[in-house]
Amino acid sequence: MTSAPTPDMTPAEAESVYFNNYPPPKSLPKHEALARAFVDYHVQANRRLVLVTSGGTTVPLENQTVRFIDNFSAGTRGAVSAEYFLQQGYAVIFLHRQFSLLPYSRHYSHSTNCFLDFMDEEPVPDVEGASESDHRPIVVRSEYQDQMRDVLRKYRYAKRNNLLLLLPFTTISEYLFELRSLAQLMRPLGSNALFYLAAAVSDFFIPSDRMSEHKIQSSELPEHLSQGQATDGSDIYTGGLEAQQPSRSKRLVIDLDPVPKFLHRLVDGWAPDGSMVVSFKLETDPNLLVYKAQTALRRYAHHLVIGNLLTTRKWEVVFVTPDAPHERWIRVPKSRRSKSISGSEAQVGLAEAKRAGDSASGETSGGQQGEKTTSEGVEIESLIIPELVLLHSNMIAKHSPQ
């Protein structure tokens, strides 16, 4: 029995091969119990519920993992979007990479926004006899009071009303197990369910039968200690061995298989009938973005692909839909864009212009409802989520009995 799905398999066959070859994550039963109760609660309330996936997945190189492959995603898109969904009255299951950004706390967990910078010791009262004490209360600095109160109130509201369920994952296989279970548990929600797949999921992995149990050694071991590691000076696997290097240190040759495309199974099997499925497509080449988003939409036959470029993702996205207008750009107006060290404003509009054969203004913007300016500028998610909620409402209306 092969341990990795092959391209000639149907999506259902690929599913069973993949899931039969990996143990489910240890936390899965606990997450399932929490999710089941959460879904039931919101089904009773006839509330819409969105599963937001967020952050990157790791690809371990060893079973007892010391080394892994990772990607850039910090989870900003997912964490910010979750807040705007909550603002729109949705309940949110936030399936996120462990230690990536979380809704609300993300305002204080950036390295540039360290929470300690928001605090102070209460000043010594300006009265006679008052003295410096070792036990002065810690307070939020006056200039941050309003912003922090706002965030705190929203966070507490979400907690008090059981509107936010945080579920972490780390590896690609944990992510896939969790996604499958959650989608199946969401079935009672019917068209009230929305899938917002913003996580940056690895496209490649190492099948279990090629995975080293222990830490891969970079130098030779005596034969009696080698336990299956190459001892003859050849490079270390995870795939075919390459040309020998006559040296005591080894090259590591990593041979990755493609991760089966489970979006098929989500749309066709796991997700509730009538639910809405939104995926993201990230590219770096402006020439490819819309083409790749359209291809994904055709291939998986879901409802919306949100395309974004690595360098402009905080200021513009494109909605690619099966229905007209098929391609719609949402942009933060130029004067209200946040500053971003890694971003490149010069590239805003490029992916659209490349297709239209002209220069895009870079000034257009999506619907303004729900838009919110922070000290860091308008968050594009404040434009994306209200647009998406409208599309979801249309789908729900189509599915409700006349």
Reduce the DSSP state of residue 230 to 3 states and report it: coil
311 makes contact with ligand PAZ (CB under 6 A)? no
How many other C-beta atoms are found inside a 10 Å radius of the C-beta of residue 395?
Answer: 17
Reduce the DSSP state of residue 120 to 3 states and report it: strand
Instruction: Give least dist CB 278 to ligand PAZ, A.
Output: 11
73 makes contact with ligand PAZ (CB under 6 A)? yes
CA dist 76 and 97 (Å) reads 11
Q: Which residues are bridge partners to 282 per DSSP?
A: 308
Q: Which is nearer to ligand PAZ, 32 or 83 (CB)?
A: 83
Of the candidates 306, 258, 259, the residue with the CA atom closest to the CA atom of residue 282? 306
267 makes contact with ligand PAZ (CB under 6 A)? no
Instruction: Give least dist CB 297 to ligand PAZ, A.
Output: 13
Answer for which of 180, 281, 337, 392 binds ligand PAZ (CB under 6 A) is 281
Q: Which is nearer to ligand PAZ, 73 or 275 (CB)?
A: 73
CA dist 90 and 372 (Å) reads 18
Phi first, then psi: give them for residue 102, nearest 5 degrees.
Answer: -115, 150
Answer for which of 181, 212, 294, 308 binds ligand PAZ (CB under 6 A) is 308
Q: Which of residues 174-213 bind ligand PAZ (CB under 6 A)?
A: 198, 200-201
59 makes contact with ligand PAZ (CB under 6 A)? no
Part in contact with ligand PAZ (CB under 6 A); list of ranges 67-75, 147-155, 169-177, 237-245: 67-75
Reduce the DSSP state of residue 329 to 3 states and report it: strand
Answer for which of 9, 74, 252, 253 binds ligand PAZ (CB under 6 A) is 74
Q: Which is nearer to ligand PAZ, 181 or 202 (CB)?
A: 202
CA dist 71 and 54 (Å) reads 12
Q: Which is nearer to ligand PAZ, 60 or 307 (CB)?
A: 307
Long-range contacts of 116-125 (CB under 8 A, 24+ apart): 118/144, 118/148
329 makes contact with ligand PAZ (CB under 6 A)? no
Q: Which residues are bridge partners to 308 per DSSP?
A: 282
Instruction: Give least dist CB 380 to ligand PAZ, A.
Output: 10
382 makes contact with ligand PAZ (CB under 6 A)? no
Instruction: Give least dist CB 228 to ligand PAZ, A.
Output: 34
Tokens found for residue 77? 């898109």
Of the candidates 191, 192, 197, the residue with the CA atom closest to the CA atom of residue 265? 197
Q: Which value, to the nearest 10 degrees, does the dihedral of the CA atoms of residues 173, 179, 181, 185 take?
A: 170
75 makes contact with ligand PAZ (CB under 6 A)? yes
CA dist 259 and 396 (Å) reads 32
282 makes contact with ligand PAZ (CB under 6 A)? yes
Q: Which is nearer to ligand PAZ, 42 or 77 (CB)?
A: 77
User: Where on the chain is the footprint of ligand PAZ (CB under 6 A)?
Assistant: 73-77, 198, 200-201, 280-282, 308, 313
